[in-house]
Structure 1
Amino acid sequence: MPDPKAHHPAWPAAGPAPSSGIGMGRSAQVVTGLLLLVPAVLALVWSYVVPSVSTLLHSFRRGELWGGPVESAGGDNYAQVVERGFLGDLGFALLLALVPLLLALLVAPLLALAAQRAGRVPRLVARALLALPLAAYAPVAVGVAWSLDRIEADRSAWEQAPTLTAVRTVSLLTAGLVIAVGATLFLSVLRRRPGGGRPGLAILSVGGVLGLAVVATAVQSWSLQWPLLAGRDDRSGPVVRIVRESLTQVQPGVGAAGSVLLLALLGVCGILAVLLLVATRTRIAFTGWRDRAAGAEVGGRNPVALGMLVVGLLAFLALVAYVSAPWWRTLTVDAPLPSGVSTGRIQANTWLPPLVSAVVGVALAALAGFAIGGMRPLGRASELLLLPFAPWLFVGDGPLAVAHFLRVRDAEQFNTFAGLIPPGWLSIPALVVFTLFFRGQRERWEAGGRFASTMLLPALPMLAGAGLLGWLVTAQGWLWPQLAVHDVAHAPATSLVVLRVTATFGDADAARGFLAQVLPLPLLLLFLAAFVALQLLYLDRLVIRAGGAVAPVAAPDDQPAPR
């Protein structure tokens, strides 16, 4: 039997093992891997490194936003940020993350455990239902509809206990999405094969990264927090203050100082997440296109787990329906459009620019993930190539909003298609996922598997899923369109909703009628069908491993894979 070290991606070798299916020498793998990584590095520099350096430089300056005189401010901008309550905003955002953290790290794994123990069919039903809040991701529409629907009922609560009401409301509106994402991840951790590593270590790895992601999302949230918290006793997240001070109060230096502080926190979270994945040797593997007989299900069918799963799913569906009902009721409502625009124009402005960014960002991420996880140019140290990307793993548009705004201004791209394209040309979360995936699949490739069946074909559904999810998330963002578009003719649906809410001065019916433009019913059904198919046919066949020895060689491509 061959030495297991010869098949483990963590052990470099002078050349491929006799049974290797790679078909190239070690030097060729190094050169190929580094070359494939170049496009992602260039995208990283353009989309994240240069804007971050620009933000840092602006944080020590004082001057007009539109080309006025600029002078050195020293540390005054940072002093003003602290004096104006940045740390209080940060603490408030962290407070908003407490309940989502509990849901992600306690409720989601319990739901996943019940689904795994209940048997194959109940697990697939659970996966299909988990796709609903993912497909219905529309934070601006949900937040606005909820606020309009409960403006009178919640008025006294906001007046008497604004902080508690904010925590309760944000937690309620994000609960379904947090549980769905967490349960999906933990299902892949629990759905393991014998010899696939210690499940406890994988749970620690996934839980740690998920917790860091929840915190990072809370401290830079904009699209949901704005419709819920705007104007309520000056309570907001750091990004709201950054944008307000940079653009509304025309103090870009002060806003840049807040961005630097926020970038530092997010950078620490990203580095910790990547180090955790590297230290635990986390990887993702595809178990095969076909299932074994139902009797081979690990752990069998547990009636107690089935009962717990039914109760959990009913509560989950009730929560999602209760939160989304105010928005769902608007999906079939027609509303008069502003003069000079049409439904087609609005939908083109909403969906086409993010499509460009999503396709390029995910494609570059997949290429770089294959370079690091598949080619492994540095051998056992290859995952360390993720560290240059790690500081921006959780960074969205908000912390770099000032730098991107100034770039669009200098390029004269306001109110243009190019200006509407989200500024991130590389999906770093997708890059990390693809790296873990190709690292897991390389074991089968080294064991003699064909490149197409072990590396290429299993990656295609992941590529499609990451692209669809990235497209939906960026299209539902409001911050970047708010900065890049100033006229109605070029505005996407999210910006028009906010304009309509502001213009109607509390006329809830007029504002509600416009919410159907944000995520139209046909698109909602399309995303739902796609995500359900991915859950049932692909994600259910992915397993997350960590640590441990190399798993036994996977079944041949024409045989059913172990469950």
Structure 2
Amino acid sequence: MDTPAKPPRNGTSVLLGLLALIPATVLLFTGYLVPSVRTLLASFTDASLLDKPSESVGGDNYSALFDDFAESLVGPLLLAVALTFTALIGGLLLAWLAALAGRRGRWALRAAFALPMAAVGATMAAVAWLLSFESPRDLNPFLGQYGAFGALAVGLGATAFLLVLRRSPRLGDAWPGLLLVGGIITATSLAYALQSFTFPYLLRGPDGPRFGSPAMLIFDVAFRFADLGVASAGAVLLLAVLAVLGVGVAGWLIAARARVVEAAAEPAPDQPAGTSPWTAVSLVVTAVAALIALGSLVPWLTHSVSFSALPRESGVLPHLVSTWIPPLLSTLLGVTAAVLGGYGIGALRPLGRRSELLLLPFAPWLFTGLPALIPDAFRHRMEDGSEFLFLVPPASLSIPVLFGSALLFRGVRLTRALPVAGLAGLMVWVVAAQDTLWPLIAGMRPDSAPMQVVVLQTVTEFGYRGLEGGGGVTGWLYPLPLLLVIAAAIAAVQILSLDRLALRTGRDDPDDAPAAAPFPAVPAQATDPYPTAPAQPAVPTMEHGSPKDGTA
């Protein structure tokens, strides 16, 4: 039997592949590895915000913090379970029905959840939900967080499961990919919940737990109690949990030989012709789910149209610049390095079939965000001198984009992969620009503080009285026109690019063309919405045990 042709690999491709990884490796070293080591060393000292030399205290910091750290896990674990089940059940059901319905069902689902997926601004969501209640004690922070982002979880879950079901809607055939996606969703939900900060910070009431999440615990100990040594111990414990999740997911991806390929290069899924019962069922269920998702955005949309003048002489422009430009600089650097590294691993294949092993050095920090890095980042960046550069978030490398790019470039040509990479960069920018944690630490100048700081200060000053008080400035935080533009971009990339891709696991086959080489001609199928080549001679296939002509 002839073996599938391997992508050409020579000394040049090996060298270029390793060179493409250099920027990501440098950012990994400076933004994650070195800070993690310094955090570990600081956790055994009595370092503080006070200007005094630190001394070794052994393991006392861990003993003092362990009970509070364990208590701070309760709420995030419940939130992670809720988000996981929502994404798994809701996302899988909608994706399966859409896959059975064919192109109409898939496109309707992708468009229906574009708006909830654009609403990823944690600060805007938390402030909107806060202003919808008489008092912050009336809303549990994790219940509010689930209400704000449950629809987002469904949209992300449906997008991931559609990648698996794009080849075939039969669940029995796709179970390895579905299981892999389910594991990634579970790990992502847990990592997100453990590092949630904005909702616990805004919505924790006097009767609630002292520390709503590990992220809140680290922040409070570091900046309320000025104890960077104990805060570093909490950061180390959080880093350990996140490292286990990252290494586990990376190992699963490598063992499963996961990769993204063009759907047109595979046998077209069996799709009912014309309007079928599955199409009608999928459209109805998607419409109902979209209405529920829109209902969860009512607090957001209500407060996104409030553009009162800021009570500051500097006006709104300096605050908008501080909100969006520093995260843009970080995103451009980190996402560019991640995409370049992913191209080196996925397309240039410097280690051949073992190239994905190059992801392992990045794996421990796959799910690591700012909460685990802020004690060290504050200590080593507060003396940089430039207040504007201080606003640029630390740890710019987007490791999830690096992993996704490596899977994407493994089987997708560059021109088709770039829109997906661009959308990933856009979402990284929005998430960073809507973060609350770093602006609270770095945005200290009243005349140019990020909008997160301005809105939180205004809302607090007016005593949570909704639109009659602090709510009048919330529209500047994440303006509605910008939300609609980002939602349109998500829908366009989903329909025009992601819908043409599929997630594959297992051994390579002849249909998996290398990303760096032209794709072979594929027989045009009557049911394939994206024929990429003229019809070829008929190829016998089997459907439900009977021969069927494979051409139009």
Normalising by structure 2, report the TM-score. 0.88
Task: Summarize the alignment of residues 25-424 of structure 1 with structure 2, pairs less than 5 Å apart.
Answer: 25-83=9-67, 85-151=68-134, 165-192=140-167, 199-229=174-204, 231-234=206-209, 235-287=211-263, 298-300=270-272, 303-413=276-386, 416-424=387-395
Q: Which amino acid aligns with 2:399?
A: I
1:430-452 per-residue CA deviation (whole Å, 9 max, x = no partner) reads: 000010111123xxxxxxxxxxx
The one of 463, 467, 485 equivalent to 2:425 is 467
Q: Quick check: 2:323–2:433 contact (8 Å CA) kept in 1? A: yes
State the alpha-carbon separation in 1 of the partners of residues 168 and 487 from structure 2: 29
Which has the higher mean CA deviation after the structures are superposed, 486-495 or 280-289?
280-289
Output aligned runs, 1:451-490, within 5 Å: 454=413, 456-490=414-448
SS of the residue corresponding to residue 387 of structure 1 reads helix
- Map Cα deviations across residues 131-170 of structure 1 (whole Å, 9 max, x no partner): 1112122221122221221236x85x66xxxxxx555333
The whole-number CA distance in structure 1 between the counterparts of 2:37 and 2:436 is 24
In 1, Cα distance between equivalents of 2:523 and 2:395: 40
Q: 1:249 to 1:59 in 2, by over 3 A?
A: same
Query: Is the aligned partner of 1:546 residue 2:505?
Result: yes
Q: Distance in 2 between matches of 1:103 and 1:255?
A: 33
Shift in Å at residue 555 of structure 1? 4.4
What is the rounded CA distance, in whole Å, between the counterparts of 2:456 and 2:482 in structure 1?
Answer: 21
Name whichever of 273-282 and 60-69 sits farther off. 60-69
Tell whether the 8 Å contact from 1:327 to 1:515 is kept in structure 2 after alignment.
no
Provide the secondary structure at the position in 1 that maps to 2:58.
coil
Name which of 423, 429, 448 aligns with 2:400: 429
1-structure distance, mates of 2:34, 2:64: 25
The whole-number CA distance in structure 2 between the counterparts of 1:303 and 1:231 is: 55
- Which residue of structure 2 aligns with residue 3 of structure 1? 3
Kindly state the Cα deviation for residue 492 of structure 1 after the two structures are TM-superposed: 1.3
Quote how far apart the aligned CAs of 1:193 are: 6.7
- Kindly indicate whether the alpha-carbon contact (under 8 Å) linking 1:146 and 1:323 is maintained by their aligned counterparts in 2: no
Distance (Å, rounded) in 2 between the aligned partners of 1:189 and 1:387: 24
CA distance in 1, matches of 2:367, 2:434: 17
SS in 1 for 2:418: helix
Contact 1:269 1:394 in 2 (8 A): yes
1:73 Cα offset (Å):
1.1
Instruction: Specify the code of the residue in structure 2 equivalent to 1:515.
Output: T
305-314 or 44-53: which moved more? 305-314
Is the CA contact 2:119–2:483 (under 8 Å) kept in the aligned structure 1? yes
Contact 1:222 1:237 in 2 (8 A): yes
Structure 2 residue matching 1:543: 3-state secondary structure? strand
Asked if 2 retains the 8 angstrom alpha-carbon contact of 1:333 and 1:516, the reply is: yes
* Counterpart secondary structure, 2:134: coil
In the TM superposition, what is the alpha-carbon distance from 1:350 to its structure 2 partner?
A: 1.2
Say whether the 8 Å CA contact 1:267–1:390 is kept in structure 2. yes
Specify every segment of 5 or more residues in structure 2 that has no aligned partner in the other structure, as ranges.
Answer: 514-518, 525-530, 534-549
- Aligned AA for 1:220? Q
Give, in angstroms, the shift of residue 344 of structure 1. Answer: 2.0
* 1:67 CA drift (Å): 2.6
Q: Indicate conservation of the 8 Å contact 2:73/2:213, yes or no.
A: yes
In structure 2, give the amino acid aligned to 1:461. P
Contact 1:140 1:227 in 2 (8 A): no
Report deviation, 1:321: 2.5
Is the contact between residue 349 and residue 490 of structure 1 (CA under 8 Å) also seen in structure 2? yes
Instruction: Judge conservation of contact 2:84–2:189 (CA < 8 Å) in 1.
Output: yes
Residue 474 of structure 1 aligns to a residue whose secondary structure is helix
What's the counterpart of residue 444 of structure 1?
Answer: none
Once the two structures are superposed, what CA deviation does each residue of 1:350-381 show, in whole Å capped at 9, x if it has no partner? Answer: 11111111111111111101111112112222
Q: Give unpaired runs (5+ residues) of structure 1.
A: 10-15, 17-24, 159-164, 442-453
Moved more, 278-287 or 391-400: 278-287
- Does the CA contact (< 8 Å) of 1:199 and 1:546 recur in 2? no
| Residues 417, 521 of structure 1: alpha-carbon distance in 2 compared, 3 angstrom cutoff | same
Letter in 2 for 1:358: T
Quote how far apart the aligned CAs of 1:128 are: 0.7
Partners in 1 of 2:262 and 2:335 — Cα distance?
19
CA contact (8 A) 2:349 2:355 kept: yes
- CA offset digits 1:22-64 (Å, max 9, x no partner): xxx5222222211211111001011111111111111011033
User: Any conservation in 1 of the 2:94–2:282 contact (CA below 8 Å)?
Assistant: yes
Letter in 1 for 2:116: P
- Cα distance 1:117–1:317, how it changes in 2: closer, same or farther (>3 A)? same
Aligned CA distance change for structure 1 residues 200 and 67 (closer, same or farther; 3 Å): same
Deviation at residue 230 of structure 1 after TM alignment: 5.3
Match of 1:536 in 2: 495
Larger RCO, structure (CA 8 Å, separation 6 or more) = 1
Instruction: Look up the SS of the partner of 2:55 in the other structure.
Output: strand
1:284-332 CA distance string (max 9 Å, x none): 113469x99xxx6523268453344334323322332222212212222
What is the TM-score with the length of structure 1 in the denominator? 0.86
| 1:138 maps to amino acid | G
Percent of aligned pairs sharing the same letter: 37
